[in-house]
Amino acid sequence: MNKTDKDLREDIKKVVSEQGFVNFQTLEIVGVLMAERVKRGLSQRELSKLSGVAQKTISHIESGEDIPSIETVVKLAKHLGYELKISLEKI
């Protein structure tokens, strides 16, 4: 069963309320990657094979159990057609 964008947003809201996420940038990145994976019809297992990131790790990231490293985000993003760009600005 493929999830709709609405379903994905609800899943993210649930994770935010349950896990108390304060790092919304990470949550946004995870949401984009998860939505793209679903949009492409890829299972976590298929993305794992493409990216070299363990399926269990992908599951934990998508459920909010783990916060991904930059290296992991780069690997997943690459295989979903995204590039991670980070900027540091003095405030």
All structural domains of the chain: 5-78 (1.10.260.40)
Q: Which two tokens stand for residue 15?
A: 């994770």
For 14-24, write each residue's pLDDT tens digit.
Answer: 666 665 555 66
Q: Give the pLDDT of residue 50.
A: 97
Could you give the CA distance from residue 21 to residue 3 in angstroms, rounded to a whole number? 22
Mean pLDDT (the chain, rounded): 85
For 33-64, write each residue's pLDDT tens digit.
Answer: 999 999 999 999 999 999 999 999 999 999 88
Q: Could you give phi then psi for residue 2, rounded to 5 degrees?
A: -85, 140
Task: Answer whether 61's CB lies under 8 Å from 72's CB.
Answer: yes
Q: Give the pLDDT of residue 81.
A: 97
Alpha helices (H) along 23-80: 24-39, 44-51, 55-63, 70-78
